Structure 1
Amino acid sequence: MVRLAPAITMTLLVGPVMAGLAMMLLPAFGYLPVLGGETLSLAPWRELFAQPGLWRSVWVSFSTGLVTTIVSLSIVVLFLAAASGSRLDRAIRRLVSPLLSIPHAATAFGLAFLIAPSGLISRFISPALTGWERPPDLLIVNDAWGLALMAGLVLKEIPFLLLMSLAALPQLNPEQRVMMARSLGYRPTIAWFKAVLPALYPLIRLPVYAVIAYASSVVDMAMILGPTLPSTLSVSVLQWFHDPDLTRRFMASAGAVLQLGVTLAALATWWGLETLVHRSMQHWIERGNRRGGELPLRIAGRGLILLTTLTAFAAIGGLALFSFAGFWRFPEALPQDFVVVHWLRALPSLQSPLLTTAAIACASTLLALVLVLATLENEYRRQILPSRALWLLYLPLIVPQIAFLFGLVVAAESLGIRPQLGLVVAGHLLFVLPYLYLSLAEAYRRLDPRWFQLSRTLGVSRLRTFFQVRLPLLLAPILTAVAVGLAISIGQYLPTQLLGGGRVTTITTEAVSLAAGGNRRLIGVWALVQAVLPLIGFMLAIGLPRLLWANRSGMRGAP
């Protein structure tokens, strides 16, 4: 089993993506016999290009992918350069996993409640600073340029890129690099940019590409924060896919292919920008500037990370406030009273989606954990260095979900597989497995091998050594990785919606469906439940090791 684990893992990741892409291409060119498409044709593309506002949708999707990545990566890099080793650095490191755990939809709803014309920010500054007695007639949420969508994505992608950067930094010994640069007279922030960043970026290139792919094709956040007339391309494709007229699935397939092209174009543009920035940085490094611009960079690095962190927590606080709000007239900063009636009304309908969400998250995370542990154990036993094929882990994250998941639905229907819970679990596994591997791999590799050598000299088998030595020592990292996996599964919208055929309802699908209703109290209840579920997982990941190893302080955070 251990030897087969890498092959099984890669097959489970690559196979569905490739099959989904293949089954997406055929209907895109008119071939889908079950719907009467017997020959190849360009009719779906002609119908697609005739859709009003198509190129506006394409442009918003393309620009969202690039702008979100530029802003998110810039803030992460500035923070790492400006705050390494400081109290702020240690505080943000502790918060990065909980911030990553907040689902995209919950973040989107929380941000919408903050920045809407009648949102919290407008209420807190009115009428004293604005003179507004009524909400201003401004299109902030669902703006035509997708600025609100970009802001929401930035809040979510910063923790992801920061976590990937923190996982990669130990390979570089950044303290030594900065110390050597400082001995040549460079200020700390400038030293980090010149000595650490050029070596760090190649290690996080794939996560950056994953951010571009996700931001350019996101569905759930785009339905909440994105433009509506026209909507982003991925949202339009989903609407065509669910159209009662089944023949529009041909056009939906063509739209999914176009979405793949948009994402590839964004990735190609980013590659070109990489080349330009690389040449510019080379010139900057060779100039030898040791102090210029250090203070603005340090202020920006610390200020921007604080702003985004506080905004993320304020967004979740806004969900809680609205979920308990009674009568609340604009521009009052707080409700006149707090009530639980919204929770009482929602509780009967929460039970079934909550149980389904927990079942899917636990099943997909458990399967992913078994595969990841077996893969890493095989890597250790055979003394294999991380393979160049590691980029395949990112394949489900780099290929737009709307593209290959739509193809998987077509493949399942062709095989007579009906939408069901098991199919949704398999879909979630595609996204949980990469995150769980990336969360656990570094801790697994850093564990001191002498523990196992000592165990083997006492005659203990490899299997018993794995269960009685390695797993207890890795309990804290494993539980943290499991919490990340649960959070990723809980936040999945598109795999649940497509592979479940609308019949599998989770907290996330129900919360997103409420976006069209505009009932902030009810949305606050559902979105807050969605946000709290992953946090429970992280609380258990932190508390259980301390409880189980109460008399062994060295074990609580091992390795």
Structure 2
Amino acid sequence: MIHLFFIVAVLLCFLPLLPGIIGLILPSLSWLPTLGFEGVNLNAFAEVVTWPNLNASIGLSLLSGLGSTALALYFTYIILKRYWGTTRWRKLERTLSPMLAMPHVAFAIGFALLFSPTGWIFRLFEALGCADTVLVHLIQDNLIQDSYGIGLMLALAIKEAPFLLIMSIPILKQLNVTQLSAVSASLGYSKSETWRKVILPQWLPKLRLSLFAVAAYGLSVVDIALILGPTRPATLSVLVWQWFNEPDLQLLPRAAAGACLLVMLTATGLGFIRTIEWFCLRYKRNWLTHGATPSQQVARKPPRHLALYSPFVVIPVLIIPLLVVWSFAQRWRFPDFIPSRFSGRFWQQELPTLADLMGTSLLLAMISSIVALILVIACLEYRQKYQRAIPAWLIAIPLVTPQLSLLFGIQIVTYLVPGQHYSLWVIWSHLIFVFPYMYLALDGAWRSYDIRLDQCSRSLGLTAWQTWWRVKRPQVQPAIIFGLAIGISVSLAQYLPTQMLGAGRISTVTTEAVALASGQDRRVMAIYGLLQGVLPFVFFTLAIVANRLSNRWRHYRQHSRQTPSIPNKSKEYTHG
């Protein structure tokens, strides 16, 4: 049975990648017999190359994607260097999961409501009487849909830095930073030199896959770029998305060529990151090997970087209350700091639609996440039993490949299947992107599990199923519950898979939130952004509560089994 599940996982999650790539390349070469294109040529690429302001769109994508990746990596490194191993790190670590749980679309909507020219931040400046300063005007005009994509870059950096921090935790625990710091201090290295010359060269290569995922998302993001990014010209991903939505199907080869260009741009960006890493850590190693630098300065207290970390806490914390206030605001004139009149009319107006959208979103998320969970557990058990695993590069393809390009090819392939199975295609597309995240979330628990426990239980007469259920399940159950919450949150945040594979016929909270963020009423936009942000928090909270209750119940059962029963002495004496 485990062989069958392993084969099904490969067929469902990774086999579509090959026809997806073929379905992208052939239309870009103007070969699409269904629409009458039967000759292979490069006319679509010629149209793309001659498109006005194409170079500007490519430059904006590189600036926002690579710039946000560099900023997120720098923020991560500074925060880890300052707080790792300290008592404050525990407090910061507790805030990472809620920040990571917030979907990108909800974060982008809240970011726009905070930093727009009439947003909450500038209302605060007006209240403090400092709105006429040059710095405030500079920030006010260059954060939301600015021509250089600065606001998009900052929003992506703030949103992705907690992800890199969480991915760095197991890496630093494996490196044993305390021991490395002690040995380096004995050789004369300061704390700053230890992190720069000893820990950084070991930490960065292990973080490469996560960094590639962040860079690929930043270079090809569509939903956040529609809300915060520049519009004239737009980033390359938004430009290709606009080409894809052209009503004239004869222009489909141009969209396919643009999607191929987006793949090449992403590959170039990832290659640039890898080259910089190789150049700094392998080719030019003098700064690593010349030893400790003698310092004549007086020892001083390390600088505090709480101000640097505060945006990653303050902005997500402000977003939810701001969305709540906007959803109930009936009249809110600028520069008033709070609304002058509140009303629940907009909630009543959208409630029937919200019920249908939430039902559809939760149904898609639950089905795709449960199927992905079963397949992930089967793949991990197959690896443990037969020492054969899915290659890491195969799992990384959905993470580092632009969603727009990959889904374009898959959608072309689905056109060859007769019938309108839009719900099935959407669930399938969600599964493709949920599976890698759940696999990475559960991989650590299976690797740390001691296989000798299975051997011991089997020697005591338990079957394979009894061994897994009674021995292994209690130990990996916290990871399973947390992985399920991750899968549901990933599915709830999918915008492009739902739009493209659903052909616009399936609406979720995320798709409506992106559509309403394009210039509709801010109150309605806040309602959808609030729901899109709260749903993942609910599932992560349920996961934490479920893990705590299961731990208490397990300890209670163990304690009740170990405690001997006390006979009733009074009854024995009476009968005697």
> Per-residue deviation at 1:241?
1.3
> Where in structure 2 are there 5+ consecutive unaligned residues?
559-576
What secondary structure sits across from 2:239 in the alignment? Answer: helix
2:75 maps to 1:75? yes
Counterpart AA for 1:197: L
Counterpart AA for 2:239: S
> Per-residue deviation at 1:294?
12
CA contact (8 A) 2:29 2:43 kept: yes
> Per-residue deviation at 1:139?
5.1
- Structure 1 segment 105-124 matched on structure 2, within 5 A: 105-124=105-124
What is aligned with 1:29?
29
What is aligned with 1:248?
251
What is aligned with 1:186?
189
- Structure 1 segment 1-150 matched on structure 2, within 5 A: 1-131=1-131, 138=141, 140-150=143-153
> Per-residue deviation at 1:43?
1.8
CA contact (8 A) 1:107 1:315 kept: yes
**Mapped partners of 1:171, 1:109: distance in 2:** 37
2:165 maps to 1:199? no
- Structure 1 segment 311-322 matched on structure 2, within 5 A: 311-322=315-326
TM-score of the superposed pair, with normalisation by structure 2: 0.90
CA contact (8 A) 1:186 1:291 kept: no
2:493 maps to 1:491? yes
**Mapped partners of 1:346, 1:282: distance in 2:** 62
Q: Deviations over 1:319-353 (max 9, x none)?
A: 22211223211111122243322222211111111
What is aligned with 1:162?
165
> Per-residue deviation at 1:186?
2.9
CA contact (8 A) 2:158 2:311 kept: no
> Per-residue deviation at 1:33?
0.7
**Mapped partners of 2:299, 2:122: distance in 1:** 32
> Per-residue deviation at 1:132?
5.5
> Per-residue deviation at 1:220?
0.4
Structure 1 residues 311 and 381: alpha-carbon distance in aligned structure 2, compared to 1, 3 A threshold: same
> Per-residue deviation at 1:21?
1.3
> Per-residue deviation at 1:443?
1.9
Q: Deviations over 1:347-391 (max 9, x none)?
A: 11111111111011111111111111111122223456xx69212
2:510 maps to 1:508? yes
What secondary structure sits across from 1:15 in the alignment? Answer: coil
What is aligned with 2:180?
177
Counterpart AA for 1:334: I
CA contact (8 A) 1:419 1:499 kept: no
**Mapped partners of 1:526, 1:240: distance in 2:** 27
CA contact (8 A) 1:325 1:339 kept: yes
2:353 maps to 1:346? no
What is aligned with 2:377?
373
What is aligned with 1:435?
437
What is aligned with 1:470?
472
Structure 1 residues 300 and 223: alpha-carbon distance in aligned structure 2, compared to 1, 3 A threshold: farther
Structure 1 residues 295 and 73: alpha-carbon distance in aligned structure 2, compared to 1, 3 A threshold: farther
What is aligned with 2:241?
238
What secondary structure sits across from 1:140 in the alignment? Answer: coil
2:316 maps to 1:324? no
Moved more, 67-76 or 129-138: 129-138
**Mapped partners of 1:311, 1:53: distance in 2:** 33
Q: Deviations over 1:149-193 (max 9, x none)?
A: 111211221122122212333332222222222232333343233
Of 217, 222, 231, which residue of structure 2 is paired with 1:219? 222
Counterpart AA for 1:433: F
2:304 maps to 1:307? no
Counterpart AA for 1:63: L
Structure 1 residues 469 and 144: alpha-carbon distance in aligned structure 2, compared to 1, 3 A threshold: same
CA contact (8 A) 1:549 1:555 kept: no
What secondary structure sits across from 2:111 in the alignment? Answer: helix
> Per-residue deviation at 1:298?
5.8
What secondary structure sits across from 1:516 in the alignment? Answer: coil
CA contact (8 A) 1:372 1:436 kept: yes
RMSD value, Cα: 2.7
Counterpart AA for 1:368: A
> Per-residue deviation at 1:552?
3.9
> Per-residue deviation at 1:30?
0.7
Counterpart AA for 2:229: G
Structure 1 residues 510 and 378: alpha-carbon distance in aligned structure 2, compared to 1, 3 A threshold: same
Structure 1 residues 426 and 136: alpha-carbon distance in aligned structure 2, compared to 1, 3 A threshold: closer
> Where in structure 1 are there 5+ consecutive unaligned residues?
none
> Per-residue deviation at 1:392?
1.5
What secondary structure sits across from 1:31 in the alignment? Answer: coil
What secondary structure sits across from 2:505 in the alignment? Answer: coil
**Mapped partners of 2:421, 2:372: distance in 1:** 21
Counterpart AA for 1:95: T
What is aligned with 1:539?
541
Moved more, 404-413 or 148-157: 148-157
Moved more, 341-350 or 213-222: 341-350
> Per-residue deviation at 1:293?
10
CA contact (8 A) 2:112 2:228 kept: yes
TM-score of the superposed pair, with normalisation by structure 1: 0.93
CA contact (8 A) 2:29 2:257 kept: yes
**Mapped partners of 2:301, 2:423: distance in 1:** 49
Moved more, 299-308 or 19-28: 299-308
Q: Deviations over 1:281-322 (max 9, x none)?
A: 651452413769999996475432232222222223322221
Q: Deviations over 1:424-456 (max 9, x none)?
A: 111011111111111111122213444433322
**Mapped partners of 2:485, 2:296: distance in 1:** 43
**Mapped partners of 1:409, 1:369: distance in 2:** 25
What is aligned with 1:521?
523
What is aligned with 2:563?
none
> Per-residue deviation at 1:4?
4.9
> Per-residue deviation at 1:91?
2.0
What secondary structure sits across from 1:75 in the alignment? Answer: helix
2:287 maps to 1:263? no
CA contact (8 A) 1:364 1:426 kept: yes
**Mapped partners of 1:297, 1:19: distance in 2:** 58
Counterpart AA for 1:479: I
What secondary structure sits across from 1:326 in the alignment? Answer: strand
**Mapped partners of 1:51, 1:368: distance in 2:** 41
Q: Deviations over 1:173-220 (max 9, x none)?
A: 222222222232333343233332211222111111111111100010
> Per-residue deviation at 1:417?
5.0
Counterpart AA for 1:206: L
**Mapped partners of 2:452, 2:543: distance in 1:** 26
Q: Deviations over 1:453-506 (max 9, x none)?
A: 332222111122112222222222211111111111100100110000000100
**Mapped partners of 1:168, 1:135: distance in 2:** 39
Moved more, 471-480 or 481-490: 471-480
Structure 1 residues 193 and 226: alpha-carbon distance in aligned structure 2, compared to 1, 3 A threshold: same
Counterpart AA for 1:244: P
Structure 1 residues 79 and 555: alpha-carbon distance in aligned structure 2, compared to 1, 3 A threshold: farther
What is aligned with 1:402?
404
> Per-residue deviation at 1:118?
0.6
CA contact (8 A) 1:13 1:396 kept: no
Counterpart AA for 1:501: A
Moved more, 426-435 or 275-284: 275-284
Counterpart AA for 1:71: L
Structure 1 residues 389 and 356: alpha-carbon distance in aligned structure 2, compared to 1, 3 A threshold: same
> Per-residue deviation at 1:280?
5.3
